[in-house]
Structure 1
Amino acid sequence: MKHAAGLLAFVARFAVLGLALAFVVGLLWPGTGERLRQRFGLDAGGVAQVAAPAPGAAAAPTLSYADAVARAAPSVVNIYANKTVTEQALRMYTDPWMQQVFGGVPVGSVKRKEQSLGSGVIVSADGYVLTNNHVIANADDIQVLLYDGRVAKATLVGADPETDLAVLKIDAGNLPVAHILPHTTLRPGDVVLAIGNPFGLNQTVTMGIVSAIGRQLSSSSPEDFIQTDAAINLGNSGGALVDAHGNLVGINTLLIGKAANAEGIGFAIPVDSAKKVLDQIIDTGHVVRGWLGTDYTFVPVAANGGLPAAARGVMVADVYPGGPAALAGIQPRDILLSIGGQDITDPSDLRKREAALKPGSKVEVSGLRNGVPFHVDLTIAQRPSQLDDGSLDG
């Protein structure tokens, strides 16, 4: 037992001496232990070693849309439209009981100033700005706040209630212009960014995706819209909807609000449609569309030999007296199958092609009446102005 205790004490003394020697060597010559382990092929005790990036090496990319925003945001402006509102003035009774029973007495009218907030997009270096018609409607004075802080007075060039677009002109130099591709292709699921002036908070960016394309918000309107879940609030109207690279893809226009128990449903006018409106307004001051003079809907099952409701063609629901269709003899419940020699697929297809026809031009329309084919020639008229039904907010 004594022999074992002595051996243990001997080993302990040498272990302490070895640790002390290792401490002194490590203190005087740092890194000696690492070099010895590498020389004899020993690892670092199972501790993971993280290699530092080589000098000049590119860091891993971070998912961000900051570059797209930096590219698009300077062309987005804030719009302040001032208008005069006339209201009925009332004189109230001083006696509470009389006031409760009789209310107020009309004593004339009173005028007050009201300001609408919105957004816009600079689309040309010579000062043309696209915004929404409802932002500047009936405005007496329109002021535009630029990205760099400048304020410019805007004049109204023209407006198109059908698309709710308006074109303004500002007199300012060195203007940042939105990046617009020759042709824009969007798919549901594409990332989009909405840039605008919600609630007067100035430049604000929200992100979402394209929820759907080709949405028609009115049964009579030929225009289609981009549906997106990027947050669009009051004041965003007229602002930019851009893709992940900062290219303009739409003009934010409408939202279905919480009053309809909706969330994440906003709409923008496709930039291709907006460019056509812009060009016509600059050239003539207004937009001209063709018109057949009918209301139409999908072909019902029974009207097309048992085919599903999505069968080609449209069924005439109503004919406007004195319109092109009425003058050509088209009647309600007629099935229209082709126009200008091209098949009609559905009401949306016909509305777009109808609008693209030049007023005064003649076109052949073919269809069925009580199952019997017919062909008529009609002269396209100019589409009358349509009023917004006010069911959407913007």
Structure 2
Amino acid sequence: MQKKILNKKWIVAVSGGPDSMALLDMCRENHVDIIVAHVNYHKRKTANRDEKCVRDYCTKYKIELKVIHPKQKGKDNFQAWARDVRYAFFFKCCDEFVADGILVAHHQDDCIETYLLQKQRKSIPDTYGIAESLIMQGYKLVRPLLKMSKQECIDYCNNHHVQYQIDESNLTDTYSRNKIRHQVVEKLTKQERKEILQEVKNLNTQKHEQTKIINKFSKSSILDCTKVKELDEELRLLIIRQWLKNNKQEEHKKSRDFIRQLDKMICSTKNYEIPLRNTTLYKSYQICEIVGNEDKDYCFILQSMQCIKNSYFKISYKGDRKDAVSVTEEDFPITIRNVNPKDKIKLRLGSKNIHRWFIDRKIPLKDRKTWPVVLNSKNEVILVPGIGCNVEHYTIKPSFFVIKY
């Protein structure tokens, strides 16, 4: 029994089969503090027999047992329903007994079956095969028997005189997993089994390294296209999907084709503005960022000089030269608003469209929408904070500073 299981309290999921009964007996032999949880779906005529097997063991060794008898409503997929029901029950038991987690008797055969099903379905799972431990809905789930085969679980029960029952439904080929079990896994040689398990281990090692890279790029709200596009395509697609998910965008659930379109955009040198659900994805100068679609229009009118502060800018009597402007009484009222497409500013060599100025300065698309400009009473742009002022309003002693947020 693993050290991390000892000296803690656990809910043990016990069906009555040889694997779960072996796990239960190992816990008892090692004096692990346990509460047994059993689910009787009454799906088979022998379901009560399985429950009795578990009850008898718990009664003999004075182990607390919790049992439920759920009934399925409707005609939904039984396997999916049963899984949801039993884990909800295990979580409830964890809360009731203030347990450290749940012990489940998945074994080596289950791991191989799961991996072969993953290959068959060409899926890209979080873990190939079965993870030894994980957090599920905030509860710790541990599988101590993954190094034991199904036959080794049976041998353990026989050698230790532990009663167990066989689920007859597992003997048929009704489910895909049963077909894999009977037609493939049970016929594997020791060497073939070893090779598959090594393949699973190698893939999970690669997956772990891959996950570190994905997390490195996707955890930030900003995606650096320059670095991402240097990676191979498959990894880029995974990063984009995870990045969307981390930014709470439902688009991460969309088709692979949609994610590929975003990948082409990221690898392009062009700037893009792509509407998403309630947000917009901006790609500007090799940086991608998702920004909300809230109303960005604003306008403040100053009849006289005053220090103000809001979500877009602040006015101050001190600051950097790039935020400075000099005004006279004739310039009032002064307007401060977000930039318009036709706004221009007078420079030494003529007027320049401010959006062109943004492009030259490589200002991200998302920032351009809220960037403030300062206009005088003649509706002339006299300052673009952070960039510069109108040539006629430049002095070494500016009147005030407008600082963009």
Instruction: Compute the TM-score of the two structures, normalised by the length of structure 2.
Output: 0.23
Larger radius of gyration: 1
- The structure in which a higher percent of residues are strand is 1
- The structure in which a higher percent of residues are helix is 2
Instruction: Compute the TM-score of the two structures, normalised by the length of structure 1.
Output: 0.24
